[in-house]
Structures are given as structure tokens and as C-alpha cells.
Structure 1
Amino acid sequence: MADAIPFPAYPTRRQWLASAAATTALMPLALRAQAPAWPSKPLRIVVGFPAGTSPDLLARAIADPMARLLGQPVIVENRVGASGVLGADVLAKATDEHSFGVVGNAALTSAPLLNPRLPYRVQDLAPITVIGSSPLLIVASSRIAFDSPADFFKQARAAGDRWSYGSLGVGSGSHLITELLKANAGLQAVHVPFNGAPAVINAMIGGDIHLAVLPIGTALAQVQAGRIRGVAVTSASRSILAPEMPPLPDAGVAALNVEIWNAVMAPASLPKARRDVLAKAAVAVIRSDDLRHKLFQQGWRAEGTTPEALTQRIREDTALYREIIAARHITVDG
């Protein structure tokens, strides 16, 4: 007689309840293992400038798409003061492990050179990626008649210190870059600092100053409206941001090889694994077609660099600004 096929031994009710309890206890662990370990709560983007400024607009442009990728809300927090210094300081000292920031190039390059008593150190901030960059646009009062960029610079050289230029303040990027332009083009225009780009543009419209070097996103609309005149972009070739504007070499002046840019930075205390998560999400967002279009509309060329490339850019720009500051004997109070 064939052996009887044994029936499976079914668990008793007590055994079944014990097994179910063990499985239930293990479920949260399994779910947590599948979910990202970080971020575990809403993230904060620290911006050192007011709402409506370029760093603020860039932060708001990346906030929602990064929130979708990271699975947590991303909230913009404006910590305004001292031309971005306060925001950079707040970010450098953040210990919540859920903060990052949008920081302008000046806070990472020229500001530490001009003010050694800054409340933060650049090494307290970890590079993540460049969001967007732009060459600058050399603009002039519409009261100046010139036939070409070369003619403009010829007149500017002949005028010597009878001409003046406006900047966004002593030690600002527009101040330092215009001093570099003066050195390259042989100009002697006198510096007149203002409190912001609108004041510079109004002074040019009124004929109080002769020229300025301003961000394309700030100046191009005024040029197109005929309120001021565009001379050239500071780059070696035409920029997609202002293709109608000739580059400096077309006027017989060497390109300045410096741009303005805004970057995502994190506290250096944030563990590298978490910075890597942040960088992966930020780069994916910045390189998307949607954000490229948004940045272009704001006057920026989208980048999305590696942290290493941003580190190199900070190093190179700092060296350039150090040279300008020393050669032109530029100092600021405080």
C-alpha cells in the first residue's frame, strides 16, 4: 500500500497570531528600508536677498521641482542683510541637516577678500552646483552718440576722467568688473556707486553718468526700450542671452572672462552622502527643459555643474578678483 500523502500541519490559532504580530512588527522596518533615508522633513532654502531679486527668483524656480524629487516640501526663507552676507552666514551655521541655500558669486569670491571680518568662512559652505550664469552687458547713456562699440571705446578713452561709470556699490561685482574693463580698454572713467541697478539706470537715462556694466537680465529690457544703449557683452563671443549684442573683442578689447552666477550651497557640516542626494536632485532640475526655459526668460544660462566644477570656479574667480582688488587698490569699509 502506498504511503499516505501527509497533509500540511496547519498552525494553531496561537501560532498564527504570533506570526502575524511578528510580520506586523517588521513591516515598518521594511517600508523604511525602501524609502529614502533623507530628507526626513521639509527642507529650507536660505536666500540672502529680498523677494523678487535674482537669487530669490532662482530659489523659487527650483523649489517645487526639487520637492517633487526629494519627497519633502522645499520652503524659501529670505534672510536679508549686508548684500547677501547675512544669508550666507545663516546657511554656514545651520545644523538642522535640512538647509541649503542659493548664494551669489560675490559672497563666495570677492566679499571675503574685501572684508576679512565676515562672520562666516567660505570653507564653511559646501559647493553643490551652479544654477545659472551670465556675462554682463556694457551699457551707455543714450545721450552719447557712437557708431560702433569701437567708436564708443575711442570716445571713452579720449574723455579720460571726464566720464563716469555707475556701479551697484563699492566692492560689488559691477564695480570690480568695470575696473577690469577699464584696465583692459585703457579707460579712466570715475566710479560713482549707487544703491542698486534701478538707480544706476535712472542716472544713465538722466545723463548723470556715462556707462555701466550690468547683468543682462537687468539691462537688456532697458536697451530694447531705447532708454539706454547697449555697447557689448563682456564675453569672448556672442551670448544666447543677448545675441544682438556684439562681444568685447569686436570692439578691439579683450574679453573679461568673468561672469556672474548663483549657486546651490550647503553647510559644510551636512554629511557628504546627503550633499550627494541634494546635488543629484538639483542638477536634474536645473538641466530640465522647463527650468532651462525659465532661467533663460530671467536672463540666465542654466548650468547644473558638478560640485567639483563649482569648487574650481570659486577658486578661479577668487584669484581674478584678488588680482583686480590689488591692482586697482580697492577697499571698502567694514
Structure 2
Amino acid sequence: MHRLLLNVFVLLFVFAPYSAVNAQGYPNRVIKLVVPFPPGGLIDNAARLIGPELSKELGQPVVIENKPGAGGNVAAADVAKASPDGYTLLMASAPLSISPALYKSLPYNPANIEPIAILGQLPNVLLVNPESGINTVADLVKRAKANPGKLNYASNGNGTSLHLSAEMLKNQAGIFVVHIPYRGSTFANVGLVAKEVDFMFDNLPPALGLINGNKLKPLAVTTATRNPALPNVPTMIESGYPNFEVSAWFGIAAPKGIPDSASQLLQATLEKIVGRKEMVEAISRLGATVTFMNAQRAAQFMKTDTERWRKVIDYAKIQMD
């Protein structure tokens, strides 16, 4: 009897650490990273930079799954409803902070998604046709005020950050211009090159080729500081609009309730990844700047971002179903 009890004790002693690791060790299986947009765009490209490095560091496969639709809400809903175990993550971006202010109702509760980290930011850039004779933001505003309702601007669709950036300019500059939504920024750029519209805001990366090819002229970037890709282009703040600060951003989020240990591991790992010189350079080639924010700072940033967009949305009386 004593020998039997001793054997049981030995077995428990030997296998207890193994059982604890299996119960608590994260990660021990495949992680899914959900991307809210189709392959080939900025957010997808960023995910394909981060995903393999995350896999190497964590020792588990990171599978990227594209789930486009409804301005990012399809993917957000998928992640919000997933188990909060750290094995389903969202490649988060600006729509995650815009949607709560923009939509009457959402297919998910925004409170059911929590940020893990923000990894990078990039500006929108205010663009005109080089043949327009407009060389500064002041020139554009002056022309708009002299011709109320006669100028128009393009965007990649209603409720996007590009649309809302122009509405922010309307609000702060006190101008009346007409919105012409296109089916994506590529078509909007074509419209501006063809002089169908007078100006537009675009994310910097897709606009860089046209800027460098002298097809479009940048007037200002929307971040608080100038962008290294356009060092001679002023910010909107420098152009006379001290409250005009907008940035597209990307990061990682998870279902609400992810264990602290998993969140902390992901935060530390992501900070390590984006801190590497080669990753900084790769993200820079996307037109973005590495800006690491941990979960706490990211949550505050997103809250501030939502309120910033809510003011613009209320001013412009925009609401999506």
C-alpha cells in the first residue's frame, strides 16, 4: 500500500509541471490573424510583415486570414465573437476607432475587442493636380472660399478616413466643397489626375508613385510631424490648422478578456519585432513609421481617435446604416 502511494506521488510530481505548462503555456497551437481587407493593401502587407516574425518568436504558426467587408466590420465582428484565448487576433486599423462613431449599429460590440498594441502610423496627404495652380493649403482654401460649392473633392468612399479628413478641412477652414465618392482610392486618384475633381486626401503609400511621377502634387500631410518620404511637404498644423492631426494606424487587437499573460507576451514580442532595424525599414517602405504603443496606451489612443472622428461625423451629419 505504501509502495502504491509512493508511486502515485512520484507520477504526480513528474507530470504536474508538464500538465501546468499545457494548461497555462501560451501559445501551444496555431494563431489566426484576421485581416479586415483584401490582399495587397497596406494593412494586409503589414500583416504579412508581422505575421512570420510573430510565428518565429512564439514558435507557432501564424495564419493570416483575409475577411474583407463592411469597412472592416466583418472581420471585427468575427474576432469580437471568438474565444478570448489569444488564438484569434485582429489586424486592427483606423476603421476600428471610426466605426463606433459612424454606424447606427454594428454587427459587434466595440467593447468586445481590446487592443494588444499599435505598431505603426502613417499620414493622409492632401493632393491636387499639379496643373491646378494651387501650391499650398492656403491657396486651396482661398479658391474654395471664392467659389463656394463649385469645388469638389474625391474620396475612396463614404465614411472612410479620406472622406472624413476632407470634412475636417471643411469644418476647420469654413469652406463649402462637394464630395465625390469613388470606388476606392485608385479610382479617386485617376479622377484627380484627369481633373474630374479638385482635390483629395489619400493614404500616403498608394499616392507616392503618382507624387514622385509628378502626376499629383502634395500640399500637406496630416500627422503632427513631417513624413520622411516627403520631407519638404508641411503638415496641416504647419499650414495653419493647429487642431488638424490625423493618422492612419495599424496594430493588433484581440477578443475582450484575453488572459493577461498572453497579452503581455504578445506586447513584448511585438515591441521586439518592430524595434528591429530591418522591420523599421520594411515598414518605412510601406510609407508608415513604427510607433509602438502598448495595450494601455493603444486603448487611450483609440478612445481619443474615436472622439476626434465623432466631432467630424457630427459636424458633417454623416451616418452609415
Q: Flag whether TM exceeds 0.5 (same fold).
A: yes
Per mean C-alpha deviation after superposition, the further-off stretch among 215-224 and 310-319 is: 215-224
CA distance in 2, matches of 1:117, 1:273: 33
1:183 matches 2:159 = no
Q: Is the 8 A contact 1:235 1:255 kept in 2?
A: no
Alignment match of 2:235 (pick from 200, 222, 247): 247
1:113 and 1:237 map into 2 onto residues whose CA distance is 26
Alignment of structure 1 residues 65-104 onto 2, 5 Å: 65-95=53-83, 97=85, 98-104=87-93
Listed one character per residue, the Cα deviations across residues 231-290 of structure 1 (whole Å, up to 9, x for unaligned) are: 111234422242121222443333512211112001113222212212221221122222
Q: Closer, same or farther in 2 for the Cα pair 1:21/1:273, shift >3 Å?
A: closer
Matched, 1:105 2:55: no
Find out whether 1:218 has 2:202 as its counterpart: no
**Structure 2 SS opposite 1:86:** helix
What is the identity percentage for the equivalent residue pairs of Structure 1 and Structure 2? Answer: 24
Task: Report the secondary structure of 1:143's partner residue.
Answer: helix
- The structural deviation recorded for 1:24 is 9.0
Instruction: Report if aligned partners of 1:152, 1:231 keep a CA contact under 8 Å in 2.
Output: no
Q: Report the count of equivalent residues.
A: 315
Cα deviation, 1:94-146, whole Å, max 9, x if unaligned, reads: 12721111011212x22122213211111101111112111211001233013
* Residue equivalent to 1:203: 191
With over 3 angstroms needed to count, the CA separation of the structure-2 counterparts of 1:85 and 1:24, relative to structure 1, is same
3-state secondary structure, aligned to 1:154: helix
Deviation of 1:34 (Å): 7.5
Give the whole-Å Cα distance in 1 for the aligned partners of 2:70 and 2:177. 27
Alignment partners' CA distance in 2, 1:241 and 1:307: 28
Task: Find the partner of 2:126 among 138, 142, 153.
Answer: 138
Opposite residue 299 of structure 1, the aligned amino acid is G
RMSD between superposed Cα atoms in Å: 2.4
Contact preservation (8 Å) 1:216, 1:242: no
Query: How far apart are the structure 2 equivalents of 1:147 and 1:90?
Result: 45
Give the whole-Å Cα distance in 2 for the aligned partners of 1:164 and 1:69: 49
1:49 match = 37
Change (3 A) 1:60 1:32: farther
**Between 294-303 and 138-147, the greater mean CA deviation after superposition:** 138-147
1:261 aligns with 249
- Deviation at 1:316? 0.6
Is 1:173 the equivalent of 2:161? Answer: yes
Given residue 95 of structure 2, which amino acid in structure 1 is its aligned partner?
A
> Contact (CA 8 Å) 2:122, 2:223: kept in 1 or not?
no
Q: CA contact under 8 A between 2:116 and 2:298: conserved in structure 1?
A: yes
- C-alpha contact (below 8 Å) 2:122/2:287 kept by paired residues: yes
Is the 2:104–2:319 contact (alpha carbons within 8 Å) kept by the matching residues of 1?
no
Q: Is it true that 1:38 corresponds to 2:26 in the alignment?
A: yes
Higher relative contact order (CA 8 A, sep 6+): 2
Tell me the residue number matched to 1:8. Answer: none
* Alpha carbons 1:134, 1:261 under 8 Å: kept: yes
Output the CA distance in 2 between the equivalents of 1:113 and 1:151.
Answer: 32
Unmatched runs of 5 consecutive residues or more in structure 2: none
SS at 1:139 equivalent: strand
Structure 2: distance between partners of 1:130 and 1:317: 13
Amino acid at match of 2:313: I
Which of 230-239 and 310-319 deviates more?
A: 230-239
Please state whether the residue corresponding to 1:303 is helix, strand or coil. strand
Is 1:278–2:259 an aligned residue pair?
no
Q: Of the candidates 193, 199, 202, which is equivalent to residue 181 of structure 2?
A: 193
CA distance 1:236–1:156, shift in 2 (3 Å): farther
Residues 289-326 of structure 1: per-residue CA shift (max 9 Å, x gap): 22111110001111221101111011111111111111
Q: Alignment partner of 1:162: what SS?
A: coil
Could you tell me how far apart the structure 1 residues matched to 2:65 and 2:180 are?
Answer: 32
CA separation of 1:94/1:209 partners in 2, compared to 1, >3 Å: closer, same or farther?
same
Match for 1:106: what amino acid? P
Quick one: distance in 1 between partners of 2:231 and 2:254? Answer: 34
